[in-house]
Amino acid sequence: MRLTRRTTWGLTVVATAAALALAGCSSSGSVAAAPAASASGTGGSGTLTPVKLQLQWFTQAQFAGYYAALKQGYYKDEGLDVQIVEGGTDIVPQTQLANGSVDYALAWVPKALASREQGAGITDVAQIFQRSGTLQVSFKDKNITTAAALKGKKVGNWGFGNEFELFAGMTKAGLDPAKDVTLVQQQFDMNAFLAGDIDAAQAMVYNEYAQLLEAKNPATGKQYTADDFNVVDWNTEGTAMLQDAIWANT
């Protein structure tokens, strides 16, 4: 069978996405066996296909699987020379992908769909996270255990597409995000929350929430524990959205 250039590219996308997906899944707790060299890859010739993978944020536990796969040679076994490109505050992964700066990008599904609505030709080729990792965290004495309890509170959010679950949760609970709460532009840390400037702050289970559990309670001199906080989990509230996915240029 004669392979056209389009077909060959399509096969490359599928193979690369599969390798990256295995890497991403390995950070969720399951350990995948090292994949054998691809029969249709370039391992036999010794030539590796260069691939750029754009991360959504700075290097953190969220992306551990991709780095572990790189260090352990998983990509090389599949004929891939993967360059992991770190994200940052001014980097939009799906835009980097759409403009051709990278070959693949990690992005939350709602953010990427918003970019698609604006014309970005990108496709979800591997859905890595199956559950949302976003929480709304508050101190126990605030009595915020549900989205409805956010009414009248100072509610932190990062914006930039990170607020979709929060707004959906408040709306489902009968609140108007523009009227029933005081929205606070939250920095990408927990300083304002710990200082008491925010009643309920956004936090990822693998980042900011862990930061809280490593912080010291000034009243006791000991580290905070989970018992010091209430969390609103959007998986429980019913407005969780798909997060990390690997996107390719359509």
CATH number at residue 200: 3.40.190.10
| Per-residue confidence (pLDDT) for residue 46, from 0 to 100 | 78
Three-state SS at 248: strand
- pTM for this one? 0.79
State the pLDDT at residue 211.
Answer: 96
Mean pLDDT by groups of 10 residues along the chain of 250 residues: 36 57 57 37 72 96 96 97 96 97 98 96 97 98 98 97 97 98 97 98 97 97 98 98 96
| The pLDDT of residue 2 | 36
The reply to whether 91 and 199 lie within a common domain is no
Number of domains in the chain: 2
Q: What is the pLDDT of residue 26?
A: 54
Same domain, 103 and 141: no
Cβ atoms within 10 Å of 150's Cβ, excluding its own: 25
Summarize pLDDT for 168-209 with one digit per residue, the tens: 999 999 999 999 999 999 999 999 999 999 999 999 999 999
Query: Same domain for 185 and 232?
Result: yes
Range of the domain at 75: 5-130+242-249
For 14, the token pair is: 């599928």
* Distance of alpha carbon 174 from the chain centroid: 27
**Are 10 and 120 members of one domain?**
yes
The predicted structure's pLDDT at residue 44: 52
Alpha helices in the chain (DSSP H): 5-26, 64-71, 74-77, 93-98, 109-117, 164-172, 191-194, 208-214, 234-237
Q: Are residues 168 and 182 in the same domain?
A: yes
